[in-house]
């Protein structure tokens, strides 16, 4: 095989069907409702990983170009999934790293203000705080919970009227499951001259989202939750035209970075930096993670995010009333819905203890910040729900 051949592996999503866990035959829990934490690896993901390992085991460096092409194919798929162009995406190691890189690369001016939200996962706060300390910015904290109502948006508008450079918000809040009103947030931010960074790891793959239609400026998303890939692979969307200062740069950040490997006399340190998001791909990449990601994304693409969203809502519709009957208080918003169904447990009970007891009975769920969080995805069948409720009753 020549090193310029196409990748010998291609995703095969033909066995991916709503409510069917054929691709997850090894899964121990009868109801895996933890896709907001880490997804299990499907047979397709394991097939992609095996194909890459076999290829590198056989050909070493000659495999490199094949899998680089695979990553370009993936970049196209990810771009299509969020309505972006491929050159607007950088493949990076984690959601957190996408925020860190954006926070370091934005052309700040001392005194710029960044609006963040208390209650968010720290991924979308810590890097902005560090950028504030480094570049002399001010971080303003608003309440994430309030974004479900007019009051929260009015509070945001009021804060923006004092001037802001950026609003950093999640597409879906990790503990309540609130899908934040992104279109409204972007509209308010842009009207005030601010850009918007979205942490979308709790949305992409289950909640339809289009960066171009929304007008989002930056978006970061990791693989291992709703995209159903492996840990250590993520992508950052940077709107074409957004200026990035090359503060996070490495050998692959330059134009034509590999030329010196093939032509004599080409080893230089002054090549211009790439001008798009790919500048942030600084060195060797998590090749295995991005092979896994294409396998899982192809399944999501084949079913369709809109169909997955509807399926997951039907699952929540079936589960939620039984929990409310048993004294749980649902945090599900009437319209701003996501893949997460979160409920506060009855007074005097502990969400973490309930989650542990459920796990022993074959139901995998989580308990972030005192809530019981259920996060089904496309392989979960609706007929699991009565058994989930029986398991809950058996917990006592």
Nearest CB to ligand PLP, comparing residues 16 and 201: 201
34 part of the interface to ligand PLP, by CB under 6 A: no
Residues in binding contact with ligand PLP, number by CB under 6 A: 12
Q: Could you tell me the smallest distance in angstroms from the CB atom of residue 178 to ligand PLP? A: 11
Q: Could you tell me the smallest distance in angstroms from the CB atom of residue 201 to ligand PLP? A: 5
286 part of the interface to ligand PLP, by CB under 6 A: no
**What count of residues does the chain have?**
396
Report residue 343: phi and psi, to 5°: -140, 145
Q: What phi-psi label fits residue 109: left (phi over 0), alpha (psi between -120 and 50 degrees) or beta?
A: beta
338 part of the interface to ligand PLP, by CB under 6 A: no
Q: How far apart are the C-alpha atoms of 249 and 246, rounded to whole Å?
A: 6
Return the residue of 18, 179, 234, 351 that touches ligand PLP, per CB under 6 A: 234
52 part of the interface to ligand PLP, by CB under 6 A: no
**Residue 371 near residue 361, CB atoms below 8 Å:** no
Return the residue of 81, 185, 201, 216 that touches ligand PLP, per CB under 6 A: 201
367 part of the interface to ligand PLP, by CB under 6 A: no
101 part of the interface to ligand PLP, by CB under 6 A: no
Q: How far apart are the C-alpha atoms of 371 and 231, rounded to whole Å?
A: 24
278 part of the interface to ligand PLP, by CB under 6 A: no
Q: Could you tell me the smallest distance in angstroms from the CB atom of residue 66 to ligand PLP? A: 27
User: Cα-Cα-Cα-Cα dihedral of 120, 124, 127, 128, to 10°?
Assistant: -80
Return the residue of 34, 70, 202, 253 that touches ligand PLP, per CB under 6 A: 202
Stretch that binds ligand PLP, among 91-99, 157-165, 271-279, 306-314 (CB under 6 A): 91-99
Q: Could you tell me the smallest distance in angstroms from the CB atom of residue 24 to ligand PLP? A: 21
Put the strands of the sheet holding 341-344 in their side by side order.
329-330, 341-344, 372-374
Stretch that binds ligand PLP, among 94-102, 156-164, 321-329, 352-360 (CB under 6 A): 94-102
| Half-sphere exposure for 359 (CA within 13 Å, toward CB) | 13
Helix then strand count (H, E) for the chain reads 12, 12
Nearest CB to ligand PLP, comparing residues 16 and 203: 203
Contacts of 242 (CB under 8 A, 6+ apart): 195, 217, 218
96 part of the interface to ligand PLP, by CB under 6 A: yes
128 part of the interface to ligand PLP, by CB under 6 A: no
Q: Could you tell me the smallest distance in angstroms from the CB atom of residue 225 to ligand PLP? A: 7
Percent helix, percent strand, percent coil in the chain, to nearest 5:
45, 15, 40
Return the residue of 34, 42, 70, 94 that touches ligand PLP, per CB under 6 A: 94
Specify the pairing of strand 195-199 against strand 218-222.
parallel
Give, rounded to a whole angstrom, the gap between the first and last alpha carbons of the chain: 61
Q: Residue 235's beta-bridge partner residues?
A: 91, 221
Specify the pairing of strand 166-170 against strand 113-118.
parallel
Q: Which residue has the tokens 């934490």?
A: 37
- Structure token digits, residue 79: 């771009």
Stretch that binds ligand PLP, among 44-52, 59-67, 194-202, 388-396 (CB under 6 A): 194-202
Stretch that binds ligand PLP, among 89-97, 237-245, 275-283, 290-298 (CB under 6 A): 89-97
- Structure token digits, residue 142: 């608003």
- Structure token digits, residue 75: 């970049």
**Residue 103 near residue 245, CB atoms below 8 Å:** no
Between residue 107 and residue 126, which ones bind ligand PLP under the rule CB under 6 A? Answer: 121, 123
39 part of the interface to ligand PLP, by CB under 6 A: no
Return the residue of 44, 159, 195, 199 that touches ligand PLP, per CB under 6 A: 199
Contacting residues toward ligand PLP, per CB under 6 A: 94-96, 121, 123, 170, 174, 199, 201-202, 222, 234
């Amino acid at each position: 095989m020549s090193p310029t051949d196409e990748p010998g592996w291609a995703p095969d999503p033909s066995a991916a069907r709503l409510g069917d866990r054929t691709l997850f035959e090894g899964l121990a829990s009868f109801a895996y409702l933890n896709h907001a934490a880490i997804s299990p690896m499907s047979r397709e993901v394991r097939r992609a990983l095996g194909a890459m390992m076999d290829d590198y085991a056989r050909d070493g460096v000659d495999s490199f170009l094949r899998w680089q092409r695979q990553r370009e194919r993936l970049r196209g798929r990810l771009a299509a999934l969020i309505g972006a162009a491929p050159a607007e995406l950088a493949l990076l190691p984690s959601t957190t790293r996408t925020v860190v890189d954006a926070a370091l690369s934005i052309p700040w001016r001392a005194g710029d203000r960044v609006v963040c939200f208390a209650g968010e996962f720290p991924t979308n706060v810590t890097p902005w705080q560090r950028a504030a300390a480094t570049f002399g910015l001010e971080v303003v904290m608003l309440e994430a919970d309030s974004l479900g109502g007019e009051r929260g948006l009015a509070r945001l508008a009021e804060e923006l009227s004092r001037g802001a450079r950026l609003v950093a918000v999640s597409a879906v809040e990790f503990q309540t499951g609130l899908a934040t009103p992104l279109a409204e947030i972007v509209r308010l931010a842009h009207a005030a001259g601010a850009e918007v960074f979205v942490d979308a790891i709790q949305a992409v793959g289950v909640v339809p989202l289009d960066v171009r239609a929304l007008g989002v400026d930056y978006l970061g998303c990791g693989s291992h939750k709703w995209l159903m890939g492996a840990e250590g692979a993520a992508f950052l969307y940077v709107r074409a035209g957004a200026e990035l200062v090359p503060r996070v740069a490495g050998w692959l950040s330059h134009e034509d970075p590999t030329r010196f490997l093939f032509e004599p006399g080409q080893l230089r340190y002054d090549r211009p930096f790439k001008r798009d998001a790919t500048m942030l791909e600084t060195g060797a990449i998590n090749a295995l993670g991005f092979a896994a990601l294409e396998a899982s994304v192809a399944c999501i693409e084949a079913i369709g995010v809109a169909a997955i969203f509807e399926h997951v809502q039907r699952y929540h519709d079936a589960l939620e009333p039984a929990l409310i009957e048993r004294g749980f208080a649902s945090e599900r918003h009437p319209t701003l819905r996501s893949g997460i169904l979160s409920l506060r447990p009855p007074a005097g009970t502990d969400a973490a203890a309930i989650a542990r007891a459920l796990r022993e009975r074959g139901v995998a769920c989580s308990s972030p910040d005192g809530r019981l969080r259920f996060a089904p995805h496309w392989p979960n069948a609706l007929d699991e729900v009565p058994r989930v409720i029986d398991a809950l009753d058996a917990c006592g």
